[in-house]
Amino acid sequence: MVATATHCSYCALQCGMTLSPSVDGTVTVRPRDFPTNRGGLCQKGWTAADLLTSPQRLTTPLVRDGRAKDLRPASWDEALDIVADGVRATRRAHGADAVAVLGGGGLTNEKAYQLGKFARVALRTKNIDYNGRYCMSSAAAASNRAFGIDRGLPFPLTDLARTGAVLIAGGNVAETMPPFMQHLAAVRDRGGALVVADPRRTATVDQATLHLPVMPGTDLALALGLFHLAVTDGHVDRAYVADRTTGFEAAWRAAAQWWPERVERVTGVPVTAQRAAVRALADGARGDGAVILTARGAEQQSKGTDTVTALINLALALGLPGRPNSGFGCITGQGNGQGGREHGQKADQLPGYRRIDDPASRAHVASVWGVDADDLPGPGPSAYELIESLGTDGGPRALLVHGTNVVVSSPRGRRVMERLAALDLVVVCDLVPSETAELADVVLPVTQWAEEDGTMTNLEGRVIRRRKAVEPPPGVRTELEVLAGLAERLGHGERFGTDPEQVFDELRRASAGGVADYSGITWERIDADGGVFWPCPGPGHPGTPRLFADGFPTPDGRARFVTVDHRPVAEDVDADHPVYLTTGRVLQQYQSGAQTRRVPSLAAAAAEPHVEIHPDLAGRSGLSDGDLVRVVSRRGDAVGRVRLTTAIRADTVFMPFHWGGEQAVNRVTNPALDPVSRMPEFKVCAVRLERVVS
């Protein structure tokens, strides 16, 4: 049978792989030599095809009769009619905004684009957002206000191997993106520096040259302190600052009060380590180059935008962005986390990374869609705010969910379940019975990665092709077909096609002239070139692998220092909740675990969540290795198994978030929001530990 060159189903590295179907229905995975993975795959990638034949696969629509306990099988016509009738009834009774949509960062560009168009044109609702709000929103907000653009990595990942120093703030790529480590190992192997800021001694820290053991929730103070030392120790590139930036003096006045000893008291990072980190970056900047990267640890906080901003200020002070083998970047997590936030499923955006409240942007996109610009709704609330409003007076009464498992991935998980239960209609498109699908009134079975064609945009801003390798099970439809079927029933069938290449061509036209301009990218060019970097504003344009060499896309062409200052966490420890909790991922699982928990080898390797606890804290709490422990916050509790380790601070515990039910740590986490990005504070809250007696 024919082998198909495609890309992995999971993270934003979008590792190259080849799928070879067999006559018995199994599919063999082999890695390809693609720039991000260079022939490597992680455990999740090697087993990605196992989900294609999972016995837990959804293959027929399911509907719930009234308040019945169980879902029952239905035909596609019956299921889509129920959804369309429910949408119409909701709109008649409560208005267009009574229908809401939640999308996902794993949807292809075509599906993300079509979902945003469906919400604005067929539903005419402002209430659409996506789970990337929980992933990249703080980094995006900070990058936009500093650089005038948000592309996770403004340079190819392969540039890292040539740089002299890398600082990663809050990222454990050795577990979350293992093939990424070869690019960082090349830095270290050439004698360069790899610095990692993290409360835990992670697998990434184990390969670093310097660890900054920051207390949860104090990353902003650390970033201000590093900026302070760059100035006071004489490492600022004054010519770069004068020629290419604005706002330095005001930003420095805020950082001036964060002298090293104060930073050590607040963050726990020794002064010697602070100085060593800044010196390594400065030496790199004067030599082969230096790169600063942020990830979810620094970003998923109620001050995540300001934390990323402070690190951008450090990068600008050292003269990094736009220089060879240097720069600032944010490590995108979800498979299409970059493309997913560019083309209209985000609350405040239209395709091409346009603002939905900009009249010129509305006019352009409306002309492509063949509608009146005045008929397009305005910006809506962020994902968690949207969830909080579900079923309330004046809030949405119906919800369509595509590509996200909000019951597991959202903070204050029990509250999320309450809000879903308050709705008149919940519709979920998924390929497995996720925790969110189990609560739905209608479940629509859709194709997965190897069963459909489309494009993705990886963490570098490289638009790539995901190719169909196998036929989907009978009874399963693509999400483009689902949206077209609903649009037809709602009177807009002529506007919604089902061919992904044709949808991409429309996306190209809608994005033309926008920040994320795809107008010069075609499927043929992607196939010929192995991917094309946006912006690519015309058929003769080569694409843009590296941004900022000739300036920044701001009104004056300069990058902006933005003044920020540290503030405490939204919820600090006290006598009743004396321990910090931080969350994250493990090697074998991915995101909410809805897919990876159904791959037997991955489930066997990581069958349940653990709680990392320092032996000193365990001793004070009466806990032993292997005990079941209940982690309790002001919002809820979650159960995991104690794993004693000295790799974590004695005032902090860590728990991964890939499981549901009583093992769901996001029943515990804090929904306090960043005022700019509306990112919840996943990475720090106050808890107590209770031994579970069997």
- Domains belonging to the chain, first-starting first, are 81-134+339-499 (3.40.50.740), 140-335 (3.40.228.10), 579-691 (2.40.40.20)
Rounded to whole angstroms, the Cα distance separating 457 from 517 reads 12
Rounded to whole angstroms, the Cα distance separating 437 from 447 reads 15
161 within 8 A of 183, measured Cβ to Cβ: yes
Q: For residues 61-81, b (16+ Cβ closer than 10 Å) or e, as one string? A: bbbbeeeeeebeebebeebbe
Rounded to whole angstroms, the Cα distance separating 477 from 229 reads 56
Neighbours of 364 (CB within 10 A): 22
pLDDT of residue 37: 97
Which residue intervals of 516-614 are DSSP H helices?
A: 523-529, 600-605
What is the average per-residue pLDDT within 65-70? 86
Supply φ then ψ for residue 497, to 5 degrees: -85, 170
For 382, the 3-state DSSP assignment is coil
Q: Which residues contact 668 (CB under 8 A, 6 or more apart)?
A: 581, 631, 632, 633, 635, 636, 637, 638, 685, 687
The 10s digit of each residue's pLDDT in 633-678 is 999 999 999 999 999 999 999 999 999 999 999 999 999 999 999 9
497 within 8 A of 484, measured Cβ to Cβ: yes
Query: In whole numbers, what is the pLDDT of the chain averaged over residues?
Result: 97
Report in angstroms the alpha-carbon separations of 585 from 287, 455, 654.
Answer: 34, 26, 10
- CA torsion sign for 201, 205, 210, 213 is negative
List beta partners, residue 19: 4, 29
pLDDT of residue 182: 97
pLDDT of residue 25: 85
Q: What percent of the chain has pLDDT over 90?
A: 98
Per-residue pLDDT band for 24 (boundaries 50, 70, 90) equals: confident
pLDDT of residue 643: 98
Residue among 316, 342, 286, 265 at smallest CA distance from 517: 342
Supply φ then ψ for residue 665, to 5 degrees: -70, -20
Structure tokens at 27: 């599919």
213 within 8 A of 195, measured Cβ to Cβ: no
Report in angstroms the alpha-carbon separations of 610 from 562, 588, 630, 669, 687.
Answer: 39, 13, 11, 16, 15
pLDDT over 80 at 441, yes or no: yes
What is the average per-residue pLDDT within 320-335? 96
Per-residue pLDDT band for 278 (boundaries 50, 70, 90) equals: very high
Q: What is the DSSP letter of 121?
A: I
Count Cβ atoms within 10 A of the Cβ of residue 115 and give its class: 0-12 exposed, 13-18 middle, 19 or more buried. buried
Structure tokens at 60: 């027929």
* pTM, 2 dp: 0.97
pLDDT of residue 509: 98
Structure tokens at 267: 């963050």
Structure tokens at 194: 């790899």
pLDDT of residue 427: 98
Which residue intervals of 517-573 are DSSP H helices?
A: 523-529
Per-residue pLDDT band for 474 (boundaries 50, 70, 90) equals: very high
Rounded to whole angstroms, the Cα distance separating 676 from 418 reads 27
pLDDT of residue 617: 98
List beta partners, residue 245: 559
